Structure 1
């Protein structure tokens, strides 16, 4: 496996690859750490020599982690169930709740990114025309999300929307009385033995539920192992098993044809069912249940429209041939 990866690296076929951690049945099959230019959001970190303890942006894989945290809070009775009206939990926006179209929004529409509102993230993340950047710049991020023009009935279509995840982060913070990082550490990271992480915040000090997490790749893979075990770790229940199953149930189709559950993608790879968290630049958490396999990949191909190539090549030409 290592030889295959080295061949691809020499051939320049996995440009920008920073790290790989592949775990099967609790055993590490492959760990690779390279070097390359890296960023924490938009801040340059220069050229980094990556190692087992080096934190890395996981960008929008954060969304999938937020869904895990939401499930824990739901199991503890601290956040509303998916069917509950969304604006009921934002009483400060009575004017928006009075709109019959917006009153139809539910928590599930946020979980499935099907709010039906105008939201464009297909623009550079350096541009204020990108809706996620505009949200970060807005004086009230939650009003910004909830007052976006309505384009279609909620639940009709999947539209990539970091704002939907931001709403989930707010519900977690409100329901638990803790910040998202504080609660996430207590109920998810600490029980998994993940001692070091960073959850970046916007200018208002609010942790980004959509893209703010920095984790070491081996710890990211551990989250995949937790999903494989339907929420249990070393005999301890961390995430309710029924939430894992519900979270990974296909509900809508993405714009490129894969399925989407609650903040997780559901696809097929090499004839095997795959569930995944995906992030800008080539950040991936791949979970293949029938192979008992979790793979974390980090890369530095930020804002590259072909950033998907490097993690896909690693999986198809290095990992799967060794295990499938």
Structure 2
């Protein structure tokens, strides 16, 4: 009898450890379907979606060909709900505390090598789903671009090593799921579900001409550099873009010592293509404000909003609004209750776009009393719209004509396209479209300390302020006047860059201590890989290829 009891205890503890089963702390969904009972603690890979009552074991895939415009889903069969698993990590916490501070941890393996681990954001999934669900579906690849956090998780895995691990041929792909809880420290539980599948990666046949370094054709505006580059590095980069290891890249342009060193186009783009670089246009607002100050149409960036608007005529008036400066909008450090980082913010840019008047939207916002003026960085697109409106009202003939006469014409830029606000003011929030070579001119203007063909377009003082550490974003990232700043470490050397940045991985890099400007354009808008792949391109290919 004692031996039988010991065996039963061992079986119970093994099940408990493997699948996190315990007496319910909160009431979870009952495991009723035979397919669920047979697969507790497993992740099943499926191509099509179907209700669980129609599942058959034969619906579960053992292999999958990795390609676009297809479907790959996982079904997760749990022995208990997430909240009950989290309870094992902190028995003193309430159910509310567990759902607010915990979620699933995903670990991805390729050929038994751990590639990527992510603690899913605690905001993903409702409290009810965390408390109750014991089976759920996650789309990883969707032919219909299904809106799901699962697709973004998959893309982050690809961006963080998965794409490089999935070389041509067959691979063993495995996922493990654990509960995690973020209290004073991050606590991680045992595996609550796991599964694996063979992934077949077809060989992508490309035109080898696309891999070769593109010959730079003669042009009027740039001298062509004869300096040596690491051709093999650039061709390796071109190959990865061609086979879509780096997706949606449309151009790479490198200027060194004021001469055109590299000019590469991809995915149908050409020298004459106009590129929608989204928030790269914000840096142009900084430039045009600097020119307007140089020309005397605006006194200084230290001027306050009350000098341009009757703030009392807008909603949520506070005397604090009177002291908001143009500089605080340039450095993203105003006290408006506006944040593009926080999706719940009143002043989030997505709340602005549907309105009839973007300036009114911004000036109607309340003050965020938790913010310290000019001390706290918080990305705020609507504030840059106000800057554009101030420039538009202050200069002769409006912002777009002023930009053409005082910036574009002096730089020899004749082909461009503005987006406009509902008030038909050139949109300084982003969307200004130029050719890649003309974006390079903009970057080179800053390397030239504001001069172009002997003419001082922008003052050196304004450039010094713009390309400086005005605000600290993180330990190694800073912000100037609508320019970002960071460092790349390559072969033990730090390369500091100031840069314009736009959604999808659009960048203009201005090297601080090197005579280099780099432009990268992309159409990877609203993807988790758009920005990250640009850093890899810089770190692993461009900087090593062009620096000694």
Q: Contact 2:400/2:425 (CA < 8 Å) preserved in 1?
A: no
1:225 aligns with 2:444: yes
* Cα distance in 1, alignment partners of residues 511 and 365 from structure 2: 36
Specify whether residues 99 and 262 from structure 1 end up closer, same or farther in structure 2 by C-alpha distance, changes over 3 A only: same
1:203-282 equivalences under 5 Å are 203-254=422-473, 257-270=476-489, 271-282=494-505
Specify whether residues 215 and 4 from structure 1 end up closer, same or farther in structure 2 by C-alpha distance, changes over 3 A only: same
- Structure-1 residue corresponding to 2:410: 191
* Cα distance in 2, alignment partners of residues 123 and 31 from structure 1: 37
Question: Displacement of 1:91 after TM fit?
Answer: 2.7
Unaligned runs of at least 5 residues, structure 1? 36-48
Relative to the length of structure 1, the TM-score reads: 0.89
- Structure-1 residue corresponding to 2:134: none
1:86-235 equivalences under 5 Å are 86-91=305-310, 93-94=312-313, 99-122=318-341, 131-151=348-368, 152-235=371-454
- Structure-1 residue corresponding to 2:218: none
Give a deviation string over 1:134-171, Cα, whole Å, max 9, x none.
22332332221122122123212111111111111111
1:16 aligns with 2:261: no
Unaligned runs of at least 5 residues, structure 2? 1-230
Match for residue 28 of structure 1 among 260, 269, 289: 260
Q: Contact 2:332/2:378 (CA < 8 Å) preserved in 1?
A: yes
Specify whether residues 178 and 310 from structure 1 end up closer, same or farther in structure 2 by C-alpha distance, changes over 3 A only: farther
Bigger drift between 87-96 and 234-243 goes to 87-96
The count of aligned residue pairs is: 309
Q: Contact 2:347/2:382 (CA < 8 Å) preserved in 1?
A: no
SS at match of 1:139: coil
Bigger drift between 304-313 and 16-25 goes to 304-313
* Cα distance in 1, alignment partners of residues 249 and 374 from structure 2: 36
* Cα distance in 2, alignment partners of residues 250 and 128 from structure 1: 26
* Cα distance in 1, alignment partners of residues 250 and 345 from structure 2: 29
Bigger drift between 184-193 and 98-107 goes to 98-107
- Structure-1 residue corresponding to 2:58: none
* Cα distance in 2, alignment partners of residues 197 and 276 from structure 1: 20
1:283 aligns with 2:506: yes
1:316 aligns with 2:548: no
Question: Displacement of 1:201 after TM fit?
Answer: 1.1
Question: Displacement of 1:96 after TM fit?
Answer: 6.5
Relative to the length of structure 2, the TM-score reads: 0.53
Question: Displacement of 1:97 after TM fit?
Answer: 9.8
Question: Displacement of 1:221 after TM fit?
Answer: 0.9
Larger Rg: 2
Specify whether residues 8 and 129 from structure 1 end up closer, same or farther in structure 2 by C-alpha distance, changes over 3 A only: farther
Specify whether residues 256 and 177 from structure 1 end up closer, same or farther in structure 2 by C-alpha distance, changes over 3 A only: farther
Bigger drift between 3-12 and 17-26 goes to 3-12
1:82 aligns with 2:314: no
Question: Displacement of 1:175 after TM fit?
Answer: 0.9
SS at match of 1:290: coil
* Cα distance in 1, alignment partners of residues 497 and 324 from structure 2: 29
Bigger drift between 51-60 and 139-148 goes to 139-148
- Structure-2 residue corresponding to 1:45: none
Match for residue 3 of structure 1 among 235, 242, 247: 235
Question: Displacement of 1:6 after TM fit?
Answer: 2.1
Q: Contact 2:251/2:266 (CA < 8 Å) preserved in 1?
A: yes
* Cα distance in 1, alignment partners of residues 421 and 442 from structure 2: 24
* Cα distance in 1, alignment partners of residues 430 and 262 from structure 2: 26
- Structure-2 residue corresponding to 1:39: none
* Cα distance in 1, alignment partners of residues 274 and 311 from structure 2: 37
* Cα distance in 2, alignment partners of residues 158 and 275 from structure 1: 17
Specify whether residues 298 and 123 from structure 1 end up closer, same or farther in structure 2 by C-alpha distance, changes over 3 A only: farther
- Structure-2 residue corresponding to 1:58: 277
- Structure-2 residue corresponding to 1:294: 517
* Cα distance in 2, alignment partners of residues 85 and 263 from structure 1: 18
* Cα distance in 2, alignment partners of residues 67 and 314 from structure 1: 27
* Cα distance in 2, alignment partners of residues 158 and 6 from structure 1: 37
Give a deviation string over 1:66-87, Cα, whole Å, max 9, x none.
1111101110011231222222
Q: Contact 1:17/1:310 (CA < 8 Å) preserved in 2?
A: no
Q: Contact 2:358/2:422 (CA < 8 Å) preserved in 1?
A: no
* Cα distance in 1, alignment partners of residues 382 and 396 from structure 2: 21
